[in-house]
Amino acid sequence: RPDLALEHLQKALEINPDDAELVYNLAAVLEATEDEEEALIAYQRAEGLGIERAAVNIRNIGAKILGKRLKEEAVEEERKKKAEELAAKELPKTEEKEMGSSRN
């Protein structure tokens, strides 16, 4: 249970905040729960405390975060494009209705 692991790691870090292994393990659990931003911060802290293998995790999670952001941007661009296309289709219909009502 990741939620329980997070709770225990956070309590342990309250007692020993500079325990590099605890920080690294916290980062791993955060990553497993898809809290990439917090995991990145924890991995960076673990690296700063001397966990050299955290550098690999930092690169990997950085790529995950970037990939998610790019995907979100692409989805948003696609949504905007579809909204513009729909608006362009609706505009002529609205103009036709207005012209028809002005003739009456």
**In this predicted model, what pLDDT tens digit does every residue of 43-74 receive, in sequence order?**
999 999 999 999 999 999 999 999 999 999 99
Phi/psi-derived region of residue 50, left when phi > 0, alpha when psi is between -120 and 50, beta in every other case = left
Is 100 a residue whose pLDDT tops 70? no
Is 13 a residue whose pLDDT tops 60? yes
Contacts of 20-29 with C-beta under 8 Å, sequence gap 24+, read 20/46, 20/49, 20/50, 20/51, 21/51, 23/49, 23/51, 24/51, 24/53, 24/54, 27/54, 27/57, 28/57, 29/2, 29/5
CA dist 68 and 31 (Å) reads 14
Name the pTM for this structure: 0.71
